[in-house]
Structure 1
Amino acid sequence: MVGEARRVNRGELGAALRALRQASGKEAKTVARSAVMSASKLSKIETAKVAPSVADVERILTAIGVSDEVKAEYLGAVRASATEATAWRLIRRMGVHKAQQQTRSLEAHMKSLRLFQPALIPGLLQTPEYMRAILSRHDLGTDVLTKTISARMERQQSLYDAAKEFHFVITEPVLRWRIVSAARMAEQIDRLVSLSRLSHIDIRVVPLSARQRDIANHAFVIRDDRTVTVETIHAEIVITDPRDVSTYVRKFEGFASTAVSGEDMRAVLTHIRDDFLREQETD
């Protein structure tokens, strides 16, 4: 099945996942907990009452502890549904903080991440103040907002895993977009400078002065060159068809090639930060 994965229907997939779990000797509640989902949802997936997403299947297989070969075989089969969209209203109903926990579970097992962002500072790089300003737009309620911020900060711990590679490409306007006060923006940029000095984290900035041959349509995240996540106004879209994933990889590489990195990038950040600091002094 590897390489030329056949399509599997919901019943076949659910039964196969149940058989793998039972063969592992792990209880359903243990697998569900590790996969960051309720035992009820896992039961519905195994009994074909709910169609799992690619991300659901990957988390379940990881929780069961199957080999990379087996995981590749089943993920190849489930990718018959190449593009999946989940409306934000459904994510809010589930709990935005739980969505953050699910993303953290995926990132815990990935080896590389490439993120292009033309609208705001990437979540993994945000300061708590910037994070709160972004998430406060969603009318989450005080308790859910606090849990979501906490979950996103927990996700950021993966940045310090030197076994992973992180590549971020940000457009210059992102650094000047007034999400928080001038003083807080200066702090946010200082965080980018600090993180950029870690050897396994590559942060690049596409300067406004650079001649462009492409359009910065929207943000996207590529994980292990296998899965792309796109956030639109109304939904989160997950793309797994290799042909479509390669399109995003090419787009990322195109913008990365026009961006500044290393000391040149830090010089850009420092200049923008100093602009914010001067503004703060005159307020």
Structure 2
Amino acid sequence: MADQVLMELGDRLRVARKVEGSSGAVLASRAGVTQPTVSRVENGQRVSSVEAVERLIAALPLPPEEAERLTSMAREAYALASEGKRVDSGVSLVPDAARKLFTAASRVRGFQSATIPAPLRSSEYAAAAGADSDSGADWAKNLDDAGKSFEFVVTESALRTWPGSGESMPAQLEHLLTLAQRPNVSLTVIPWGVGLPVMPPHGFTVCDESGVLVETFTATMTLTGSEHVAAYRDAFEALAAVAVTGDEFRRVVEDVAADLTRFIQ
């Protein structure tokens, strides 16, 4: 029932936006939400809160009666979807759950803003970072499966931040350039000076449409609720859209490597 209401609501909002002639980005800016939020709502998907939907409704030039009707629909749908649902539904901290989800995925999409993603770490970097059994080389083995695809977005800050003395960084940067040559691996970087369309407070990895891995300081949390997967998937797509790849990616990595010589002797 709730899903049908959300689909109807999304269709009506999409029609209203197109009649007005606004893009999703324009509507998102006017409503104070992200563009992925607009896309998810228009496609009948849940977002983090009903308040975001209400802001979209208020930002469209709808007749007062229809705006009130759509707001009531949104509140009813979100209330129905929440009935009987635990606040921790779809969240797991079970040991090894993250590794199993990652290994089973055929398409992996990851983002990091402060560190090198675990599957891309050289053994020296992983050791310097104090990697445990859930990171480093154990994760990297999955990249050897040519039947799987891996897409990673990192910020330039992640390339310019290192564990310990930084002695592991020259080899780590070279390792990234080598991995970028693999046909099943896509490496992109968001250079300094480029604004982020979304601001994730932590790194994350989306495994197919099955779940999301979120690294905390003490553990890797597994999120399997559809709303979590959709939110992180949309965030990844928005971040990937402003990242550079290919020759531009190589140039950024080589510039970072050159700058490192001033700090690492």
TM-score for both structures, normalised by structure 2: 0.61
Q: Which amino acid in 1 is paired with 2:109?
A: R
Q: Give the distance between the partners of 2:114 and 2:238, measured in 1 at CA.
A: 18
Tell whether 2:90 aligns with 1:83.
yes
| Structure 2 residue 244 is matched with structure 1 residue 260 | yes
Aligned counterpart in structure 1 of residue 121 of structure 2, from 110, 123, 126: 126
Displacement of 1:258: 0.7
TM-score (norm 1): 0.57
* Among candidates 111, 119, 125, match of residue 116 of structure 1: 111
CA distance in structure 2 between the partners assigned to 1:209 and 1:246 by the alignment: 28
RMSD: 2.6
Q: How does 1:84-99 map to 2 (within 5 A)?
A: 84-86=91-93, 99=96
Q: Which moved more, 1:102-111 or 1:172-181?
A: 102-111
- Consecutive unaligned residues of structure 2, counting only runs of 5 or more, are 4-84
Distance 1:213 1:106, change over 3 A: closer
What is the one-letter code of the residue matched to 1:112?
Answer: R
| Number of residue-to-residue matches in the alignment | 181
Q: Could you say what secondary structure the match of 1:205 adopts?
A: strand
Question: Match for 1:115: what amino acid?
Answer: G
User: Which residue does the alignment assign to 2:228?
Assistant: 244
- Check conservation: 1:229, 1:238, Cα contact below 8 A: yes
Distance 1:158 1:232 in 2: 22
Structure 1: which 5+ runs fail to align?
A: 4-78, 92-98, 137-144
Q: Do the aligned partners of residues 152 and 278 (structure 1) sit closer, same or farther apart at CA in structure 2, a change above 3 Å counting?
A: closer
Give the conservation status (yes or no) of the 8 Å contact 1:183–1:277.
Answer: no
2: CA distance, partners of 1:111 / 1:82: 24
Give the C-alpha shift of residue 181 in structure 1: 3.3
> What is aligned with 2:175?
191
- Shift of the 233–125 alpha-carbon distance from structure 1 to 2, 3 Å rule, reads same
Matches within 5 A, 1:139-178: 148=133, 152-178=136-162
Q: 1:127 to 1:205 in 2, by over 3 A?
A: same
Cα deviation, residue 105, structure 1: 3.9
Q: Is the Cα–Cα contact under 8 Å of residues 123 and 136 in structure 2 kept in the other structure? A: no
2:91 aligned with 1:106 = no
Distance 1:236 1:246, change over 3 A: same
Same amino acid, percent of matched pairs: 28
